Every structure is written in structure tokens, then in C-alpha cells.
Amino acid sequence: RSLLDHPEVLRTQLSALAKAAEGLPVYLEVMAPMVADRTDAKAFADACREAGLRAKFGAMVEIPSAALRARSILQEVEFLSLGTNDLAQYTFAADRQVGAVSRLQDPWQPALLDLVALSAEGAKAEGKSCGVCGEAASDPLLACVLTGLGVTSLSMGAASIPYVRATLAKYTLAQCERAAAAARAADTAHEARLAAQAVLSGE
């Protein structure tokens, strides 16, 4: 919102990206944070074009309105990236800096999984991608559930990649989808994790 209120700052950043990529065999993917609706997404995409940026334009899903209106936002951009920490904060009115509400920052919260599913379903319907950034996917079990929800890419620290890859390789997409459905049917984060674990362990 600050960037849209100060377009000269956004223009400088986008122009710098365009210049940095000039002459390189790369294709950038650039995304805007805190996108609330299609209007925000269009303003960002227009700014990228005006800056001469050759890239895929995307939007971060960090507030519930973006998840609820994912298909609308995807009329303006080419991909979504879910920021689960911020999405949890704004879904549960639970400040990330306040320890007393830390249980609501758990990425296994079923309501949060519902919003992830909505975003992924919207992206699939539009033939576009929906990733998860941040460290939520570094939990191998949760990575399986996110995959089952329809997420198409997972971001994590390099140290977590071998463990997540090995876990994902053990299961089919259908198993991940069943685990995801079980997690969403739960009422608490703890129950959601146990439910997904039970499905994947064949219990």
C-alpha cells in the first residue's frame, strides 16, 4: 500500500530489477506483498509493465481477502505465493510478536489450511501456479498436506530440502490429498497434524 501511495519508489525498484536482468538468460518472477484485491494486483502489474520489466508478475496471499478472491486477483497476475505467517496473523488477529497468541500462529490451524486450499483451487481453475513461501513447508508432513491442498511449489531453507523431498517421494498425490482433507476436517492444529499423520501412516 505504501508503494502504491508512492509510485516513484515502486518505479525505482522495478526499474532496478529490469536493469539487473538486462542481458542475462533469466526470466524474473516478481511479486507484490500485501495484495488485498484485484485493484491492488492490477496496479502492481501495470507498474511492472510501465517500468519495462520482462517478468512474471505475481501477488502474495498474506491477508484473507486475497485468498477468498484468488481467482479475481489472478485475472491480473500470473501466480500466487502464500505467506503463511502473515496470513495466520491476519486471519486470527494474532500478532506475530505476542507470545500469548502463539498457538494461533501454527500453520496447522485448519482455518489457515482452508485459506491455502481456496488459493490453490483458484489458481488451478485459472491454470496458474500457487506456491508457499516461508518456512511452513520445511515441515515434511506439512509439505505433504500443502501438496495435497494443491500448492504447486514449496519454499524452505536449503537444509530442509532433502528431508522434505524424501518424505514427498514416499507418498502419492492421492495420499497427500487424503491427508490434507483429514487435516482440514479437524478442529485444532494438533488434531490436524495427528489426522494427517494417521492417513499417511496407514492407520
pLDDT tens sequence across 82-120: 999 999 999 999 887 777 777 888 999 999 999 999 999
CB neighbour list of residue 16: distance below 8 Å, 6 or more residues apart = none
CB 105 within 8 A of CB 96: yes
**All structural domains of the chain with their residue ranges:** 2-139+150-157
Q: Which pLDDT score is estimated for 102?
A: 79
- What's the pTM value of the predicted model, to 2 decimals? 0.93
Position 103 scores a pLDDT of 85
Residues of the chain with pLDDT under 70: 203
Q: What pLDDT is attached to residue 131? A: 97
Is 154:84 a contact under the CB 8 Å cutoff?
no
As a whole-number percent, the residues of the chain with pLDDT over 70 amount to 100
CATH class of the domain comprising 2-139+150-157: alpha beta
